[in-house]
Amino acid sequence: ANRRSFVLEATQMLALAARHDWRSVVVFVDLDDFKPINDEHGHDVGDAVLRLVGERLKEGTRTSDVLARFGGDEFVVLLNDVSVEETDRLVERYRDAIARPLLVEGRQIVSQGSFGTASYPDDGTNLEALLGRADSVMYREKAKDGGRHVRSVTINGVVVQGRHRPIGAPLDDGGPSAKSGT
């Protein structure tokens, strides 16, 4: 889907989540170091990489969810009626899909992505707020290391931004003892 159709469908899905008291999550995905792919291999190869990454993300996306290329080297997914644990599994699946080498025009291209998540209703009650939160926490951590899954977490009504875990690291319960990764 494109950005416009994603916004329409995701807005409808968030309204459904509100009616049914579901937890939904926006996953913001940004390819790390994509510019060098374009610079070194050309824009045709870069475009092919984006198409292949989109296909891989789609393969890992549930039928109840919405995926779109959001612009440049960014993708976004709205996960519907999803637990924290399932969110982590899906993001791990996306990370693995992006990290598998791509074969484009006889060249092996290796990429990785950075991920930010924000959940409805804890981190925002509309799509714009959720996108902004997922985007901001992802970019803050991307500036540090890249290749991380960053969660915006609300603890006792307070949003703890920038809390993160390296992909594949054990999960904690997110309780009051969770530390901010700022």
Q: Respond yes or no: is residue 73 known to be catalytic.
A: yes
Q: Rounded to whole angstroms, how far apart are CA atoms 56 and 53?
A: 5
Q: What is the DSSP letter of 81?
A: S
Q: For 97, phi and psi rounded to 5 degrees?
A: -65, -40
Catalytic residue among 73, 81, 123, 145: 73
Task: Reply yes or no: is the peptide bond before residue 176 cis, omega within 30 of 0.
Answer: no
User: The dihedral of CA 82, 18, 61, 105: what is its sign?
Assistant: negative
* Residue 175 CB neighbour total at 10 angstroms: 8
Q: Are 147 and 112 in contact (CB under 8 A)?
A: yes
* Ramachandran sector of residue 91 (left: φ over 0; alpha: ψ -120 to 50; beta: rest): alpha
Q: Rounded to whole angstroms, how far apart are CA atoms 82 and 22?
A: 8
Residues with a known catalytic role: 73
